[in-house]
Amino acid sequence: SYELTQPPSVSVSPGQTARITCSGDALPKQYAYWYQQKPGQAPVLVIYKDSERPSGIPERFSGSSSGTTVTLTISGVQAEDEADYYCQSADSSGTYMFGGGTKLTVL
Amino acid sequence: QVQLVQSGAEVKKPGSSVKVSCKASGGTFSSYTISWVRQAPGQGLEWMGRIIPILGIANYAQKFQGRVTITADKSTSTAYMELSSLRSEDTAVYYCARVIRDGYNNGWFDPWGQGTLVTVSS
C-alpha cells in the first residue's frame, strides 16, 4: 500500500532553518499538504498544493516539491514553531493518507 | 468562516459502538466533503473516511471497512461517524475536517473540529 515517509524528529536552534521532508511514490502526480499540530490541539493547515501558504500563516513557512519528495521549510525558526508536522496526500483512487509525523524541537 | 464543532468525550465498553457528531456553521454544508481522522495517544493521524453530503456518498479507508459508518444530515449541517465493535485500540481522539478538493482525487483538510476523545475500557 502507498505510504508517506517522514523523519521522526528534526531539531534546530532558534533563528535557523528547519527542513522537514516527506517521501512517497505518488507525490510526482499528487499534491502534498502540510499540517502543524501543537500538544492538545487540532492540526492546522500550513501549506497546500505543495507550496501555497494559507492566509494567516507566517511567511517563514514554505513548501517545495522535487520528484518523490516534498519539503516543508521553516526559515528563522521561532520557539512557537515547536510542534508535530504531518504531510498528507492521496493515492490515485482518492484514498487520503498522512505521513507518520515529524517532531520539530527548537533547541 | 467555516467552523466545525464536535460532540463531547465518550467512554465505551469493548464491543459497543460510539457515534460522534460534527456540526458545521458558515459556508454551504451540502457542498462540503467531510472527512474523519483519528489519532491514538502519542501516535500520528489516520484517515478513516469521508462523505459528500450533497450526494450522500461515503467512502472508507480499507482498514475500517465494515466497522465505520459516516453519515450526514443536511437539515442540521451535521456529520456523524459511528464506529462499532470497539476495542481498546480504538481509544483515540477523533477529528472531523472539511476537505477542499484539488481536482486530482486529493484535497486538503481545513478547518478541523476540536476533536472528540473516545476511550474504550472495560
Q: Quick one: pLDDT at residue B86? A: 98
Confidence check: pLDDT of B46 > 90: yes
Q: Quick one: pLDDT at residue B80? A: 98
Which cell numbers hold the place of B18? 460510539
Instruction: Test A96 with B47 for CB contact under 8 angstroms.
Output: yes
| Mean per-residue pLDDT, B19-46 | 94
| Mean per-residue pLDDT, B84-98 | 98
Q: Is the peptide bond before A14 cis (omega within 30 degrees of 0)?
A: no
Minimal CA–CA distance to A29: which of A79, A65, A81? A65
Model confidence pLDDT, tens digit, residues A5-54: 999 999 999 999 999 999 999 999 999 999 999 999 999 999 999 999 99
State the Cα–Cα distance between residues A44 and B9, nearest whole angstrom. 21
A85 within 8 A of A76, measured Cβ to Cβ: no
| Mean per-residue pLDDT, B75-102 | 96
Question: Band of the pLDDT at A93, cuts 50, 70, 90?
Answer: confident
- Alpha carbon of B76: minimum distance to chain A alpha carbons (Å): 23
φ/ψ of residue A96, rounded to 5: -80, 150
| Mean per-residue pLDDT, B102-122 | 94
Position with higher pLDDT, B28 vs B67: B67
- Mean of per-residue pLDDT scores for chain A: 96
State the Cα–Cα distance between residues A74 and B18, nearest whole angstrom. 39
A97 within 8 A of A83, measured Cβ to Cβ: no
What is the 3-state secondary structure of chain A? CCCCECCCEEEECCCCCEEEEEECCCCCCCCCEEEEECCCCCCEEEEECCCECCCCCCCCEEEEEECCEEEEEECCCCHHHCEEEEEEEECCCCCEEECCCEEEEEC
- Alpha carbon of B101: minimum distance to chain A alpha carbons (Å): 10
Q: Quick one: pLDDT at residue A47? A: 98
Nearest CA in chain A to B116: A42
- Alpha carbon of B82: minimum distance to chain A alpha carbons (Å): 19
Confidence check: pLDDT of B23 > 90: yes
Stretch (H or E) spanning B107: strand B107-112
Q: Quick one: pLDDT at residue B32? A: 85
Q: Quick one: pLDDT at residue A1? A: 66
Q: Is B46 on the interface with A (CB under 8 A)?
A: yes
Q: Is A43 on the interface with B (CB under 8 A)?
A: yes
Q: Quick one: pLDDT at residue B27? A: 84
State the Cα–Cα distance between residues A2 and A26, nearest whole angstrom. 8
